[in-house]
């Protein structure tokens, strides 16, 4: 019963996301294949992982789990249902003081079960004017723990305009999700260099989008 309800909710959310955003995927640097991946994306809205998940082929959706903050997704029964049962999120505690589990260990556990992950290395929603917030180190530790998993940069464009922070009614606007080339692995690279390279790969995708994405006036 609960599974049927979860499936129905997932389908409804996908249809709704498509109706509002007409979202389309650009598989620029890789193909939608059933290999184990960590998709790392920019984070402007609670809908980010929904959009990324929507453009994945149905077969990949079954094995792709978003990593999300448990503080938000445990907020109400509905959020818990959507977070846990519909999207099978890996819920992590963002506040170090309240942790009883290591977030990286939780993510590695999900990888070891064979699933792919969607992560937002900025750690929190970016509501400012910069394109990206500095990455947290979680992505580095995750990448170090499982070196055979592909690291795919994903740029989600326009969703921050659909539903800016604090608004309730979404504005229908066309969004796109661009998948870049998987990061090459450089042995013994070091945390700072790795994170800088990961940030750069995302910004490069953002720049290609700039024709539509740029909010600057001429």
Partner 1 sequence: MNESRSDLLLLLAGVGGVLVVATLIGQWLAVRQRGKASVAEAQVSVVDNLNARINAWWAMVILIGLAFMGGKAGVIILFGFCSFAALREFITLTQTRRDDHWALAAAFFVVLPLQYALVWYEWYGLYSIFIPVYAFLLLPMLAALRGSTRHYLVRVAETQWALMICVFCASHVPALLTLQIPGYEGRQVLLIAYLVVVVQISDVLQYVWGKLLGKRRIAPALSPSKTVEGAVGGILSATLIGAMLWWITPFTLWQSAGMALACTLMGFMGGLVLSAIKRDRGVKDWGHLIAGHGGFIDRMDSVLFSAPVFFHLVRYGWDVS
Residues in contact with partner 1 by CB under 8 A are: 22, 24, 158, 161, 164, 167, 169, 171-174, 211-212, 215, 217
Question: Smallest gap, in angstroms, from Cβ of residue 65 to partner 1?
Answer: 28
Q: Residue 6 or residue 173: which is nearer to partner 1 going by CB?
A: 173
Structure tokens that stand for 109 in this block: 């556990």
Structure tokens that stand for 194 in this block: 């790795």
Q: Residue 171 or residue 193: which is nearer to partner 1 going by CB?
A: 171
Question: Smallest gap, in angstroms, from Cβ of residue 18 to partner 1?
Answer: 10
Q: Residue 112 or residue 214: which is nearer to partner 1 going by CB?
A: 214
Q: Residue 64 or residue 157: which is nearer to partner 1 going by CB?
A: 157
- Contact partners, residue 133, CB within 8 Å, separation at least 6: 122, 123, 124, 126
- Contact partners, residue 50, CB within 8 Å, separation at least 6: 13, 17, 87
Closest CA relative to residue 199, chosen from 42, 45, 38, 43: 42
Question: Smallest gap, in angstroms, from Cβ of residue 89 to partner 1?
Answer: 28
Question: Smallest gap, in angstroms, from Cβ of residue 211 to partner 1?
Answer: 4
Burial class (CB in 10 A: 0-12, 13-18, 19+), 196: middle
């Amino acid at each position: 019963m609960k599974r049927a309800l979860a499936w129905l909710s997932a389908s409804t959310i996908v249809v709704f996301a498509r109706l509002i955003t007409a979202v389309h995927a650009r598989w620029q640097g890789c193909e939608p294949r059933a290999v184990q991946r960590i998709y790392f994306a920019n984070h402007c809205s609670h809908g980010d992982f929904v959009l990324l998940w929507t453009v994945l082929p149905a077969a990949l959706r079954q094995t792709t789990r978003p990593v999300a903050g448990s503080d938000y997704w445990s907020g109400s029964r509905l959020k818990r249902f959507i977070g846990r049962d519909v999207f099978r999120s890996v819920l992590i505690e963002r506040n170090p003081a309240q942790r009883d589990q290591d977030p990286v260990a939780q993510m590695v556990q999900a990888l070891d079960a064979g699933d792919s992950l969607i992560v937002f290395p900025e750690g929190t929603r970016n509501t400012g004017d910069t394109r990206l917030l500095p990455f947290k180190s979680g992505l580095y530790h995750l990448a170090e723990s499982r070196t055979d998993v592909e690291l795919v940069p994903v740029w989600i464009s326009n969703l921050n305009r659909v539903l800016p922070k604090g608004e309730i009614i979404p504005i229908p606007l066309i969004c796109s999700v661009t998948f870049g080339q998987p990061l090459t692995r450089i042995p013994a690279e070091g945390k700072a260099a790795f994170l800088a390279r990961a940030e750069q790969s995302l910004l490069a995708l953002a720049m290609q989008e700039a024709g539509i994405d740029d909010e600057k006036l001429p």
